[in-house]
């Protein structure tokens, strides 16, 4: 408890609520989910204030708790809605002379930033496309791509093997790319 005096829970809302909400909103599908996760973050931080070692800033510590709450959110969603993969599984020919080559209709389109891309527009499309991923794929994709977690962190957090991680990432990237191309390009 020696480090608890470094924390100022009475100032958390004032100092960090907006930042944490904005961070959560970028990672979660709705403002309600972001509000809930930020509230859970503050509650969790308050309960574990005695564990704060002072090795990072208060803000960094709260963000790390928030990241865990976001992962927990997607885990709960994954348990609720395990879905089968769709046609996104097969963007390549699976046999014959063209095995492992793109199916023409599924090949990536070229992306160009000068096509009027606006960050808000792209963010909305990306959020929509992420919402279409199966929950476990979404968690893995967000942790690996958006949160830049290591393979080990992702595998440990989601309880999957490295081989499964790469399979999930491959499928998620294909699905997100195809969705973005359809909705944006």
Give residue 21's pLDDT.
93
Cα dist from 31 to 21, 27, 86, whole Å: 9, 10, 28
Considering only residues 103 and 85, tell me which one the structure prediction assigns the higher pLDDT: 103
Query: What are the tokens at 91?
Result: 């963007």
Give residue 76's pLDDT.
81
Tally of residues, the chain: 185
What tens digit of pLDDT does each residue of 14-35 get?
A: 999 999 999 998 888 888 999 9
Give residue 178's pLDDT.
85
What is the CA 128 to chain-centroid distance, rounded?
13
Please, how many CA atoms are within 13 Å of residue 104, restricted to the half-sphere of its CB? 0
Q: Are 28 and 37 in contact (CB under 8 A)?
A: yes
Distance of alpha carbon 143 from alpha carbon 122, whole angstroms: 19
User: In which residue are the tokens 């393979």 written?
Assistant: 151
What tens digit of pLDDT does each residue of 55-82 get?
A: 888 999 999 999 999 988 888 877 665 5
Give residue 27's pLDDT.
86
Whole-number mean pLDDT of the chain? Answer: 79
Place 94 in a pLDDT band, splitting at 50, 70 and 90: low
For residue 93, list its beta bridge partners. Answer: 99
DSSP state of 27: H
Distance of alpha carbon 105 from alpha carbon 108, whole angstroms: 9
Give residue 141's pLDDT.
92
- What mean pLDDT do residues 10-16 have? 91
Give residue 8's pLDDT.
84
- What mean pLDDT do residues 42-48 have? 91
What the chain holds in terms of domains, given with CATH numbers, is 4-80 (1.10.1740.10), 87-183 (1.10.10.10)
Give residue 107's pLDDT.
60
What is the CA 124 to chain-centroid distance, rounded?
14
Closest CA to 70 of 40, 98, 100, 102: 40
């Amino acid at each position: 408890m020696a480090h608890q005096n470094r924390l100022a829970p009475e100032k958390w809302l004032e100092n960090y609520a907006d930042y944490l909400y904005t961070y959560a909103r970028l990672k979660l599908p709705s403002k309600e989910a972001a509000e809930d996760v930020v509230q859970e973050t503050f509650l969790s931080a308050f309960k574990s204030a005695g564990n704060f070692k002072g090795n990072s800033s208060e803000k960094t510590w709260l963000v790390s708790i928030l990241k865990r709450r976001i992962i927990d959110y997607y885990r709960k969603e994954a348990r609720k809605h395990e879905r089968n993969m769709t046609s996104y599984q097969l963007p390549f020919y699976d046999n014959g002379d063209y095995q492992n080559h793109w199916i023409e209709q599924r090949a990536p389109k070229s992306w160009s930033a000068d096509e009027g891309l606006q960050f808000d527009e792209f963010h909305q499309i990306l959020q929509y496309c992420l919402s279409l991923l199966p929950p476990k794929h979404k968690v893995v994709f967000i942790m690996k791509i958006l949160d830049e977690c290591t393979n080990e962190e992702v595998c440990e957090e989601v309880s999957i093997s490295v081989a499964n991680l790469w399979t999930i990432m491959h499928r998620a990237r294909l699905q997100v790319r195809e969705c973005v191309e359809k909705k944006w390009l």
